Amino acid sequence: MAKLIDGKAIAAEVREQVKRDVERLERKGITPGLAVIIVGDDPASRTYVNNKKKACEQAGIYSEEYALPANTTQDELLKLVEKLNQKSDIDGILVQLPLPSGLDEHEVIRAIHPGKDVDAFHAENVGKIMIGKFQFLPCTPAGVMELLHHENISISGKHCVVIGRSNIVGKPMAMLLLHEHATVTICHSRTENLKEICKQADILVAAVGKAKFVTADMVKENAVVIDVGMNRDEDGKLCGDVDFKQVEPKASYITPVPGGVGPMTIAMLLKNTITAAKYQAGMEE
């Protein structure tokens, strides 16, 4: 039977630390501030944004929400980002993705000041991650690393297989594992022999976006299985990319959905907002 990695509890520890950091900054007259932009009315995005705002409040981080209609123009969105770049009480800017069709996500991300880019999506921050000299780490991959560290799971020399090659999760996830000396394979929708490759993984990270995609026959005995997915199953119940019931008996460690990687993403966003506030205040990390 696998050990369950309790992301909710580990995230709570990170959030307590963030709270103490906020108090320390407050004593110096600094209140970290996060601006969250959401465009359109995607229900999943709305839930994520609500959770992010609530987490800020609990940590003592000031937050502003900008909820724009789906017919917002590229120009209006860029102007808002520019305004927030200049706003002195805002340290971090987050544009919830995906944006409605017709808006150019890449141009919007490029408009965010790299020092306020708490998602670490800007090319400058992506490049810094690539060379290992970063200020911010992308929240979900950083959250996964935190879970692995918390459980003292050894990464160096291990074969890590990441399923998914998105800019938000798959690609940066692979890079962070590589920084810690793993041998990394990235798989995706066109990978041949996917099952065989996954079966070689000591650590398997599923970031596919398909309910119960990873089945027991794709998992090596005693593998560590990290599930980044957040899907609905045929009964409308929240589930991950991993068929938990099938895979759990084979794994040595596994993250549940919900309560695994999800809470970590938000905790790491708070951490990045603290980093941004220190940077804006001219303090060294």
Q: Is 228 in the site for ligand GUN (CB under 6 A)?
A: no
Instruction: Based on the residue annotation, tell me whether 96 is a catalytic residue of this protein.
Output: yes
280 a catalytic residue: no
Does the footprint of ligand GUN cover residue 117 (CB under 6 A)? no
**Kind plus residue range of the DSSP H or E element containing 256:** none
Based on the shown chain and the rule CB under 6 A, indicate whether residue 95 belongs to the binding site for ligand GUN: yes
Residue 128 CB partners (closer than 8 Å, separation 6+) = 134, 135
Least distance between ligand GUN and beta carbon 187 (Å)? 20
Instruction: Tell me how far, at minimum, the Cβ of 139 lies from ligand GUN, in Å.
Output: 5
Among 63, 72, 135, 140, binds ligand GUN (CB under 6 A): 140
Q: Which of 21, 91, 117, 119 is catalytic?
A: 119
- The region of 89-97, 123-131, 152-160, 249-257 touching ligand GUN under the rule CB under 6 A is 89-97
119 binds ligand GUN (CB under 6 A): yes
Give phi and psi for 255, each to the nearest 5. -100, 135
Q: For residues 218 and 272, which CB has a smaller minimum distance to ligand GUN in the complex?
A: 272
User: Which segment (65-73, 91-99, 129-137, 142-150) binds ligand GUN by CB under 6 A?
Assistant: 91-99
Q: Is 81 in the site for ligand GUN (CB under 6 A)?
A: no
- Residue 127: φ, ψ to 5°: -65, -40
133 labelled catalytic:
no
User: Does residue 96 bind ligand GUN (CB under 6 A)?
Assistant: yes
- Under the binding rule (CB under 6 A), the answer on residue 168 touching ligand GUN is yes
Task: Report whether 240 contacts 217 (CB < 8 A).
Answer: no
Interface stretch with ligand GUN, choices 19-27, 93-101, 147-155, 177-185 (CB under 6 A): 93-101
Continuous H helices in the chain:
7-27, 43-59, 74-86, 105-111, 123-131, 139-150, 170-179, 194-198, 244-247, 261-280
Backbone φ and ψ for 89, nearest 5 degrees, come out as -90, 5
Q: Which two tokens stand for residue 81?
A: 């980002």
User: What contacts 119, CB < 8 A, 6 or more positions away?
Assistant: 94, 95, 136, 138, 139, 168, 269, 272
Q: How far apart are CA 278 and CA 274, in angstroms?
A: 6
Task: Let me know: does 148 contact 155? Beta carbons within 8 Å.
Answer: yes
Q: Which residues are catalytic?
A: 52, 96, 119
Contact set with ligand GUN (CB under 6 A): 94-97, 119, 139-140, 168, 265
